[in-house]
């Protein structure tokens, strides 16, 4: 039998829990019926630092929003995007392996998504009475028609990280790019689009380097691309291989064919560990260095700007990211 006393204490318990959630989390407001949602989909997803970073940004902006993470199998990506759209989510981020698949799923592609052939950010948009598509944040009630609009914020994050974290402006520079996988392809195309003076492409599987060089030359006919190590000095070495993730990994280049004394700066797209053996060796050789955390930050910051229409609070987001990744 549940007496009034018991009812009161469980009521107090719920109140205490809500209070604790309110004061212990970074959010000014507890979740309620007007809370709006964003999420990241990946497969796997447990490693993702995006919820920590984005929720810190959301809290700093004082929004009654939350950013969630879901493990979505690639076979169910279409349904998962449709589900978020049906529930008036503000937007989504997509990570491995969904970025290429989503290009054919979104209702509308922003030029960034079309240009890089990948979608890492979706903004849901509603049709207003005049027939214009506007971000869902502007609709307090569900609009009759909603569409998914796909963007890519990864490519611009590479150049922003080079500029802001390493002080390197790619235009007119000689760049050695290591790796021709997914990250290497985006980096190579982005470097060519930024008018680097010369791009040297090196990859374990030479055929993939050749294929990327051909794609770059087709899209940027004026680009000077070689699939070999540079014989003289370069301004920047960009590591887009996965070598360095493990502490036992060798350097991602052939030391008999290239020396770190030939470059002024080294950017490693890897951010965990914070200092790869490449970055350690580069520091010893006197190079300027930066790791890939900035890329993660800037792609997320741009996504938040696309959803909110406001400048992303970079300091809060960077600090949450560092706390999440490095403890
Ligand atoms: P991502 O999407 O992160 O770029 P990816 O497409 O699998 O992942 O690419 C991984 C990159 O790291 C490729 O350039 C890969 O070289 P291959 O194209 O020859 O596979 C490179 N890589 C991975 N392991 C490597 C190793 N042990 N030695 C040299 N390069 C390696």
What domains can be seen in the chain, in order of their start residue?
Answer: 29-152+296-326 (3.40.50.10860), 156-291 (3.40.50.720)
Residues in the chain, overall count: 327
In ligand 1, the atom with minimum distance to the C-alpha of 252 is 29
Adjacent-strand bridge partners of 175: 199, 236
In ligand 1, the atom with minimum distance to the C-alpha of 183 is 4
CB 98 within 8 A of CB 42: yes
| CA 303 – ligand 1 centroid, Å | 26
Report pLDDT digits (tens) over 231-257.
999 999 999 999 999 999 999 999 999
Confidence of residue 4 (pLDDT cuts 50, 70, 90): very low
pLDDT above 70 for 8: no
Return the best residue to mutate from 117, 178, 181, 202 for the ligand 1 pocket (most ligand atoms within 8 A of CB): 181
Q: Given phi > 0 = left and psi -120 to 50 = alpha, else beta, which region is 291?
A: beta
The set of protein residues with a Cβ atom below 6 angstroms from ligand 1 is 179-184, 203-205, 208, 240-243
**CA gap 309, 125 in Å, rounded:** 13
DSSP sequence for 59-124:
HHTT-SEEEEEEE--GGGHHHHHHHHHHTT-SEEEE-TTSTTGGGGTSSEE-HHHHHHT---EEEE
Average pLDDT over residues 43-59: 97
Pairing mode, if any, of strands 146-151 and 108-109?
parallel
User: Closest by alpha carbon to 194, among 169, 211, 177?
Assistant: 169
CB 51 within 8 A of CB 37: no
| CA 252 – ligand 1 centroid, Å | 10
Q: Tokens for 25, please give them.
A: 């989390």
Nearest CA to ligand 1 atom 5: 181
Active-site residue among 46, 85, 99, 283?
Answer: 99
Nearest CA to ligand 1 atom 14: 179
User: In Å, what is the CA distance from 25 to each residue of 43, 55, 127, 225, 310?
Assistant: 27, 10, 35, 50, 23
Report pLDDT digits (tens) over 180-222.
999 999 999 999 999 999 999 999 999 999 999 999 999 999 9
Report pLDDT digits (tens) over 112-157.
999 999 999 999 999 999 999 999 999 988 899 999 999 999 999 9
Report pLDDT digits (tens) over 275-325.
999 999 999 999 999 999 999 999 999 999 999 999 999 999 999 999 999
Counts of helices then strands in the chain (DSSP H, E):
10, 13
**CA gap 280, 326 in Å, rounded:** 17
Return the best residue to mutate from 204, 208, 249, 272 for the ligand 1 pocket (most ligand atoms within 8 A of CB): 204
Tell me if residue 111 is catalytic. no
């Amino acid at each position: 039998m549940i007496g009034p006393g018991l009812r009161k204490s469980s009521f107090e318990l719920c109140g205490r829990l809500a209070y604790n959630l309110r004061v212990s989390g970074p959010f000014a407001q507890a979740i309620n019926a007007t809370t709006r949602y964003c999420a990241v989909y990946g497969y796997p997803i447990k490693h993702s630092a995006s919820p920590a970073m984005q929720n810190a940004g959301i809290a700093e902006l004082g929004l009654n929003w939350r950013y969630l993470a879901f493990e979505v199998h690639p076979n169910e990506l279409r349904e998962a995007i449709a589900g978020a759209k049906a529930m008036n989510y503000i937007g989504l981020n997509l990570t491995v392996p969904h970025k290429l698949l989503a290009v054919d799923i979104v209702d509308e592609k922003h030029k960034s998504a079309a240009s890089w052939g990948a979608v890492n950010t979706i903004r849901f948009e509603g049709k207003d009475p005049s027939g214009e598509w506007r971000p869902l944040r502007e609709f307090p009630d569900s609009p009759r028609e909603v569409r998914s609009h796909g963007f890519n914020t990864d490519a611009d994050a590479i150049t922003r990280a080079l500029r802001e974290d390493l002080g390197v402006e790619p235009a007119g520079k000689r760049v050695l790019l290591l790796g021709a996988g997914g990250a290497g392809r985006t980096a190579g195309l982005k470097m060519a689009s930024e008018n680097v003076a010369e791009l040297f492409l090196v990859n374990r599987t030479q055929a993939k380097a050749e294929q990327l060089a051909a794609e770059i030359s087709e899209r940027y006919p004026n680009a000077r691309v070689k699939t070999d190590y540079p014989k003289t000095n370069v301004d920047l070495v960009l590591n887009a291989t996965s070598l360095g993730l493990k502490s036992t990994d060798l350097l991602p280049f052939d030391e008999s064919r290239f020396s770190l004394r030939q470059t002024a700066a080294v950017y490693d797209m890897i951010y965990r560990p914070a200092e790869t053996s490449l970055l350690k060796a580069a520091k010893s050789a006197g190079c300027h260095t930066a790791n890939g955390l900035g890329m993660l930050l800037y792609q997320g910051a741009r996504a938040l700007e696309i959803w909110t229409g406001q400048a992303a609070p970079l300091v809060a987001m960077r600090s949450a990211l560092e706390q999440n990744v490095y403890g």
